[in-house]
Amino acid sequence: MSVKVGIPRALLYYYYYPLWKDFFESLGCEVVLSDKSNKGILDSGIKNTVDEACLPVKLAFGHVKNLADKPVDYIFIPRLVSVAYKEYICPKFLGFPDMARQNIVGLPAVIDTTISFMRKRHNVDQAYKQLGKKFSGNPIKVRQAYHKGLRALAKYNQLLLKGHLPEEAMSIMYDRSAKASQVKPCGDLNIAIIGHPYNIYDPYISMNIIKRLQSMGVVVVTPDHLSEDEVRHQAGRLPKKLFWTLGQRMIGAGYHYAESEDIDGIIHIAAFGCGPDSMTGELIERNIRGSTKLPFLNLTLDEHTGEAGVITRLEAFLDMVRWKNSPKKQFIS
């Protein structure tokens, strides 16, 4: 019977799942995902979390608990320190494996491999090779598994660059019956959604904002549809470099889309109580107010956010964008 490795469908799942899945499966493990986010998972996350946690971290606690209940042999919660040279990600990622161990009763073994790209790419490669040794004594097999994971990640990123959203890209890669590749987004407005991946792509905490907008005739684009070079080039316009990798992606994408002639408006999604989000939102908004006057909406999510309020704000925002685009607007007052 193969070893079951659980992966929470939370936090950087939306960035790295193909790498993790192919890596563990190549080493003979069975990868088990937590269920899709729902009220029960968020409620259990809130019950098992620490007081200072932000919304996506609370949700991540719920996903870890969901895996513990399945059950699995291991839960993979990498200690993510840095995913780019001389940059960091939020310290809440760094402490997450310890917080989960401390707060969730009955947790199976946690694999908390440290991922730190802060100094050298080599450190990350070594971390995966060390991790692989847990499941295979054959270093060649471990190396092959890691390279297979990297190839899967490259393919996934290519699909995002072609305009697919994460769940579509994963369906194309792993679900042979998926028709996602044939679906062409269409609508009369192009709206950029800027936010942390675990906020904008999680259908439950985002209140399905992407699907909702699509059903209202909007083509949605996100930071992940832009190349790394482009977002870094745009973020480089800041007088001082941001050392948060995800914040750089958001600012770079915000600046890019603000200048794009195809974009009709920008929606920034923030998590209540998130320091980095309040700063990125402010920087993107100031840039827009100062130059393009593109319609901009800031939505802040927490567990008490009401769906009706979000829908009303989205509808009002889209009405305003459509009115602004209308050639007859000067005759209506």
Q: Name the residues that contact ligand SF4, by CB under 6 A.
A: 54, 56-57, 90, 92, 196, 271, 274, 276-277
Beta bridge partners of 220: 191
Two tokens at 125? 């490669």
Is the CB of 87 or the CB of 259 nearer to ligand SF4? 87
CB-nearer residue toward ligand SF4: 40 or 275: 275
CB of 16 to ligand SF4, least distance (A): 15
To the nearest whole angstrom, how small is the minimum distance from the Cβ of residue 247 to ligand SF4?
8
Residue with Cβ nearer ligand SF4 (27 or 274)? 274
CB of 167 to ligand SF4, least distance (A): 20
Q: Which is nearer to ligand SF4, 65 or 196 (CB)?
A: 196
Q: How far is the CB of 57 from ligand SF4 (least distance, A)?
A: 5
Minimum distance from residue 121 beta carbon to ligand SF4 (Å): 23
How far apart (Å, rounded) are the C-alpha atoms in residues 237 and 127? Answer: 33
**What's the min distance (Å) between Cβ of 274 and ligand SF4?**
3
Nearer to ligand SF4, 263 or 274 (CB): 274
How is the beta sheet containing 218-221 ordered, strand by strand? 218-221, 189-195, 265-271, 296-301
CA distance 231 to 284: 13
Estimate to the nearest angstrom the gap between the alpha carbon of 112 and the chain centroid.
20
**CB 225 within 8 Å of CB 257:** no
* DSSP state for residue 25 in the 8-state scheme: H
CA distance 85 to 204: 32
Which residue type sits at 307?
E
298: phi then psi, degrees, rounded to nearest 5? -110, 120
User: In whole angstroms, what separates CA 137 from the centre of its chain?
Assistant: 33
Dist. CA 98–CA 102, nearest whole Å:
6
User: Closer to ligand SF4 at the Cβ: 191 or 250?
Assistant: 250
